[in-house]
Amino acid sequence: MAIKEMPVWKWVLLFIAALFLSLLLYGFSSLTTLIPNAWGRWVCTLAVAAGMLGLYTLFVHWFEGHWAQDLPLKKCLPHTAAGLGVGLGYFVIVVALMMAVGVYKITGAGCDWKDVVSSFFVFLLVAIGEEVIFRGVFFRWIDEKWGFAVALLLSALIFGLVHITNDNASWWSSLAIAIEAGLLLGAIYKYSGTLWAPIGVHWAWNFSQGNIFGFAVSGTDAGATLLHSEVSGSEWLTGGAFGAEASVIAVVVGAAVSAWLVWKVCKRA
């Protein structure tokens, strides 16, 4: 049965099933921590990433009666690469604006490259797990049942709300994530038609802010960072202990990019 034709009670039960899927994906991703060797963890991470995508594909097949249409293999590399570019470019712009207003300063560079690579792979799993649930399930199902506008707003609000439990989080930081990330990721998913694009954005988003520019990632220390920096000034501009995501600068940039993508989606409709 198509999602649009599904009675609300059955639709709600499917959402509950999706929550169990998210727990399964989280547990699956923790397997990488059992391997002490760095090279082994990286290989295991790629295997787990493929397994997580496979679980999503099976989930769609079991509950919707068809194979996932938002993971076309032929678009994996180009759409993921495009997403990585958008995610990195986003934070380059945010940091450049922070430097322009004097709240961010680079003081040095260098770290253990293995630690940075490990973080790169960890954020791959984070991106896959969250995009599968929030865009592949929540956004897509709401979109099919009630339309793009409702899906974009609801999925963004839910995405922001779940971050309220993070370290150093506040209602403002959750609203900021909803605006700058929830809207952008939902819009790029709709525009691209694949999960590869938002996975790429999310992956580069976390890695660049945490392990390139040295901010906390959604309130959590990301570990080794390529650039050493000093961040000072108003928390409204810097994001404070939560990281750059809680900065007004990041919100404005994210909202602008999201608005452009929404315009592109509406223009194409």
Please provide the DSSP assignment of 90-155 as one string: HHHHHHHHHHHTTSEEEEEE---HHHHHHHHHHHHHHHHHHHIIIIIIIIHHHHHHH-HHHHHHHH
Q: Which residues of the chain have pLDDT under 50?
A: none
- C-alpha to C-alpha distance for 52 and 189, rounded to whole angstroms: 18
The DSSP code for 34 is G
Instruction: Please give the structure tokens belonging to residue 230.
Output: 């000093």
The closest of 144, 148, 136 to 61, measured between CA atoms, is 136
CA distance 87 to 163: 19
The one-letter amino acid at 7:
P
| DSSP code string of 46-58 | HHHHHHHHHHHHH
> pLDDT (tens digit, 9 = 90+) per residue, 2-48?
666 666 666 677 767 777 777 777 776 677 777 778 888 888 888 88
186 token code pair = 């939902």
Looking at residue 80, its pLDDT comes to: 98
Tokens of 71: 């993971």
Token look-up 């994210």 returns 254
Cα distance between residue 148 and residue 260, in whole Å: 15
Largest CA distance in the chain: 58
- pLDDT at position 41 is 83
The residue type at 34: L
Give the relative orientation of helices 183-192 and 148-161 as an angle to the nearest 10 degrees: 140
The model's pTM: 0.92
CA atoms within 13 A on the CB side of 79: 19
Bridge partners of 231?
104
**Cα distance between residue 127 and residue 1, in whole Å:** 29
| Tens-digit pLDDT profile for residues 166-192 | 999 999 999 999 999 999 999 999 999
Per-residue pLDDT at 45: 85
Report the candidate in 269, 262, 253, 241 with the shortest Cα–Cα distance to residue 92.
253
What SS3 state is found at 108?
strand
DSSP per position, 249-265 = HHHHHHHHHHHHHHHHH
